């Protein structure tokens, strides 16, 4: 009798824990006081699905990658058939006449899969790109030179790569370069994807991944790596970086590095000691979102972290995917909460603090990141499954 009661009590507690973790009944507050009127950027004549990551090239131009990462990583399609990726640029940011155009890539072989993911602008002129090329080349970080043609349009010239160890196949996520040789890269899953692609991941690995996340076991890290041109990168775990699902990384260009642990609803702040080059954990901040990517906004000297409100919304995304990706209108038509927070140093307490910047259920489906342009007029929202990049406009005060 007592045994039974205990078992049912434990089950009820466990179910309550899962409901809480997944955020099944979490409330969806709307907050668009600073930026609002979020709309898709109209793109003509090229694919723009899955713009998970973007970087500002200058005050006028934003560079975005795209690939149907959601379908590839949920195993909805095989690596052969899933739509491959590329890059596009948004021009006219400072003049307010936004226009998206495909970026031409020079020297890119067409028999090789291009499935870009995290991108990083290094030394103003180089684009570092995570490339999940699976059996056509494994997990790599590629370097391109950014060129501007006579019309002021961006082109990419492929330069070289470093290969990531097989244990990272398909699971690195985000990267920042501290110097031209030293980079930090996150991995977000316990098991690497098979070389043939995530669709072939054994079911037991998927179940175990889910279990480690539910039980909050920390099996993912930030890796501190050395770029070896044309060879295998050498990487070691960054001390105190263990997390449940380590994801976005951002660097302020000076001494602060912010890292998101999506499943733990936490942001870790690290300090780079510029004399001995060591990196040390200085603060953990809990945030009211599942932080995915983090970007740095140099104008306001703050980090911007973006993510979904609940894991439940992520888990219920797949039946809506066609509706999302084939949406003919300018606005998102499914309900999916996008939350954006700023993380800023309070000069008095010397602690970083988070503040809500945007919360909206109709801004973008599956937010992954947010960036504010230099003029502060626009808030761009990136996403892993949606049809295009989203742009929100600053409200006049
Ligand atoms: C996230 O943003 C940073 C810029 O801070 C960028 O370098 C990175 O590649 C992004 N990653 C993803 C996966 O969105
Ligand atoms: C992706 O990987 C392939 C094969 O390893 C490589 O040849 C190609 O240049 C890479 N593409 C990009 C965009 O980095
Ligand atoms: C780097 O950060 C330190 C400490 O916050 C500050 O004193 C210094 O001015 C910063 N340097 C730059 C170039 O921003
Ligand atoms: C940075 O490194 C230097 C040289 O090793 C050391 O003296 C200093 O205490 C370190 N600074 C911090 C804030 O840890
Ligand atoms: C951050 O949290 C981790 C555990 O998640 C803990 O070990 C560490 O001491 C915390 N660090 C700081 C600076 O609060």
CATH of the domain at 340: 2.120.10.30
Q: Is residue 350 part of a domain?
A: yes
pLDDT of 139 strictly over 60:
yes
120 lines ligand 1 (CB under 6 A): yes
Quick one: which atom of ligand 4 is closest to the CA of 273? Answer: 1
Q: Using alpha carbons only, how large is the chain's radius of gyration in Å?
A: 20
How many A from CA of 117 to the centre of ligand 1?
8
How much of the chain exceeds pLDDT 90, in percent? 60
* Ligand showing the shortest atom-to-Cα distance for residue 86: 2
122 lines ligand 1 (CB under 6 A): no
250 lines ligand 1 (CB under 6 A): yes
Q: Is residue 345 part of a domain?
A: yes
Query: What's the pLDDT at 97?
Result: 92
Q: Is residue 228 part of a domain?
A: yes
Report the predicted TM-score, pTM, of the whole model to 2 decimal places: 0.88
HEC string for 333-355: CCCCCEEEEEEEEECCCCEEEEE
Q: Is residue 27 part of a domain?
A: no
How many A from CA of 273 to the centre of ligand 3?
11
65 lines ligand 2 (CB under 6 A): no
Query: What's the pLDDT at 77?
Result: 77
Q: Is residue 47 part of a domain?
A: yes
The tally of domains found in the chain comes to 1
Q: Is residue 134 part of a domain?
A: yes
Q: How confident is the model at residue 9 (pLDDT cuts 50, 70, 90)?
A: low
Q: Is residue 15 part of a domain?
A: no
Please count the CA atoms within 13 angstroms of the CA of 187 that sit on its side-chain side: 27
Segment 209-237, tens digit of pLDDT: 989 988 999 999 999 999 999 999 999 99
Name the residue at shortest CA distance from atom 10 of ligand 1.
118
* Ligand showing the shortest atom-to-Cα distance for residue 292: 1
Q: Rounded to an integer, what is the distance from CA 217 to the centroid of its chain?
A: 21
44-53, 70-79, 211-220: the lowest-pLDDT one: 70-79
Q: Is residue 4 part of a domain?
A: no
How much of the chain exceeds pLDDT 70, in percent? 90
Q: Which domain holds residue 268?
A: 33-394
How many A from CA of 282 to the centre of ligand 4?
14
Name the residue at shortest CA distance from atom 12 of ligand 3.
254
């Amino acid at each position: 009798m007592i045994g039974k009661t205990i078992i049912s009590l434990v089950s009820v507690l466990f179910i309550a824990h899962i409901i809480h973790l997944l955020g099944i009944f979490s409330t969806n507050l709307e907050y668009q006081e600073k930026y609002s009127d979020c709309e898709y950027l109209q793109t003509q004549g090229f694919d723009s699905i899955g713009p998970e990551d973007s970087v500002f090239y200058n005050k006028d131009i934003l560079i975005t990658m795209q690939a149907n990462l959601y379908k590839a990583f949920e195993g909805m399609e095989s690596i052969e058939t899933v739509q491959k990726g590329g890059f596009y640029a948004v021009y006219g940011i400072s003049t307010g006449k936004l226009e998206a155009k495909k970026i031409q890539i020079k020297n890119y072989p067409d028999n090789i899969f291009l499935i870009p993911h995290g991108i990083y602008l290094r030394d103003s002129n180089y684009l570092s790109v995570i490339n999940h090329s699976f059996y056509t080349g494994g997990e790599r970080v590629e370097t391109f030179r950014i060129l501007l043609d006579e019309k002021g349009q961006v082109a990419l010239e492929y330069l070289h790569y470093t290969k990531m160890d097989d244990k990272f196949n398909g699971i690195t996520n985000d990267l920042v370069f501290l110097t031209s040789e030293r980079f930090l890269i996150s991995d977000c899953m316990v098991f690497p994807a098979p070389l043939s692609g995530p669709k072939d991941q054994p079911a037991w690995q998927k179940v175990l991944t889910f279990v480690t996340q539910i039980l909050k076991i920390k099996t993912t890290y930030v890796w501190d790596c050395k770029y070896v041109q044309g060879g295998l990168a050498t990487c070691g775990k960054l001390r105190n970086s263990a997390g449940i699902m380590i994801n976005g990384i951002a660097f302020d260009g000076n001494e602060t590095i912010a890292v998101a642990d999506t499943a733990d609803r936490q942001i870790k702040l690290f300090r780079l000691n510029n004399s001995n080059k060591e990196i040390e954990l200085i603060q953990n901040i809990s945030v009211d979102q599942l932080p995915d990517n983090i970007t740095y906004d140099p104008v306001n000297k703050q980090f911007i972290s973006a993510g979904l409100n609940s894991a439940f919304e992520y888990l219920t995304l797949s039946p809506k995917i066609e509706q999302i990706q084939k949406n003919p209108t300018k606005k998102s038509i499914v309900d999916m909460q996008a939350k954006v927070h700023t993380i800023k140093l309070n000069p008095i307490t010397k602690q970083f603090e988070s503040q809500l910047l945007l919360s909206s259920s109709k801004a973008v489906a599956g937010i992954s990141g947010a960036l504010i342009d230099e003029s502060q007029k626009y808030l761009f929202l990136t996403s892993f499954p949606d049809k295009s990049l989203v742009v929100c406009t600053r409200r006049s005060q």
